[in-house]
Amino acid sequence: MIGEITALGAALCWTLSAVLYKTALSDAKPVSANIARCVSTSLFLIICLVVTGKLQSLTNLSAYQMFLAALSGAVGLCLGDTMYMISLSLIGVSRAVPVTCTYPLFTMLYATVFLNEQITIFLLFGALLIVVGIQLISQEKTRSNSLKRSEVFRGVIIALATAMVWGVSISMMDHALKFSEQATLDVAFTINVVRMLATALLLLTLSPLVDRRFRFTRLKIKTWIILALGGIVALVLGWTLLALSLLHIQASRAVPISSVSPLFATFLGAAFLKEKATLRVFVGSIIIVSGIFTLFVA
């Protein structure tokens, strides 16, 4: 049961972080928010390594693993999470989270195209369910005092692009972990640290171009705290729980369970952000989750 519980915990962490990000985005632009979050989370991870006396574990990774982790961060955390922030600001947690959680579909599609893995009936049916679920969410009717149809469509497209990018990033992380002689929680944690550090350095380097006048440095302390907490919950606790889950159960069980975030998002978005929990969004979320589970049917 440890594997299942930790996978479910990871899903809850990722949904809670989305609520925190959405709260912070009322006072910050997506790029500024992502820079503040990644810098804060990286500092926290370094402190964790120092306190636990495992800072030297960074030297145990091969150059290839570090390259993959850094590239995964650039793709998934720099590009992907910035788009995720944009989608959250446009359409909210209850709509953005279900669409971005379709990343397992793209991970499998990449494996099919580039690794010549076989296309199964379950992959096709799962993809169909996911498309139907996204269609329900994107075609939701909106009132004049709420979101405009064009905003919902744009937010869904950006969220879908996020899922595509995350699929690439996660494939790189998985490959970096499998490159180790023995996949342990410490190795997974260290790879995640390299991934975060590379992302933070890249964002800081690009900040003069992507975050004019270094707006992230002028964010309110409260906003920094919220973003830092969101990063720690998602990128430290959430990923650690998923890694722990993968050590106890197979990925075919861990990943689908960790992808039930859409169901949490509907309720948490309504409870904490006053988002309208419509029947269409809820049904679309259930269909997307069903599609993800179908992808992993043997």
Gap between the Cα atoms of 296 and 75, Å rounded: 25
On the CB side of 278, CA atoms within 13 Å amount to: 15
pLDDT at 188: 87
H/E element holding 146? none
Rounded to 10 degrees, the C-alpha dihedral 119/123/127/128 comes to 100
Do residues 16 and 237 touch, judged by C-beta distance below 8 A?
Answer: no
pLDDT given for residue 208 in this prediction: 94
Number of compact structural domains in the chain:
1
The pTM of the full predicted model, rounded to 2 decimals, is 0.92
Which pLDDT value is given to residue 9? 95
Domain that holds residue 136: 2-295
pLDDT (tens place) for every residue of the chain, 298 residues total: 888 999 999 999 999 999 999 999 999 999 999 999 999 999 999 999 999 998 888 888 999 999 999 999 999 999 999 999 999 999 999 999 999 999 888 888 887 887 777 878 888 899 999 999 999 888 766 544 466 778 888 999 999 999 999 999 988 988 888 887 777 888 889 999 999 999 999 999 999 999 988 999 999 999 999 999 999 999 999 999 988 888 888 776 787 888 889 989 988 998 999 898 788 899 999 999 999 999 887 5
- Phi then psi for residue 250, to 5 deg, are -70, 155
Q: What is the pLDDT at residue 144?
A: 43
Measure CA of the first residue to CA of the last residue in the chain; give whole Å.
Answer: 20
pLDDT at 142: 53
Contact of 172 with 80, CB cutoff 8 Å: no
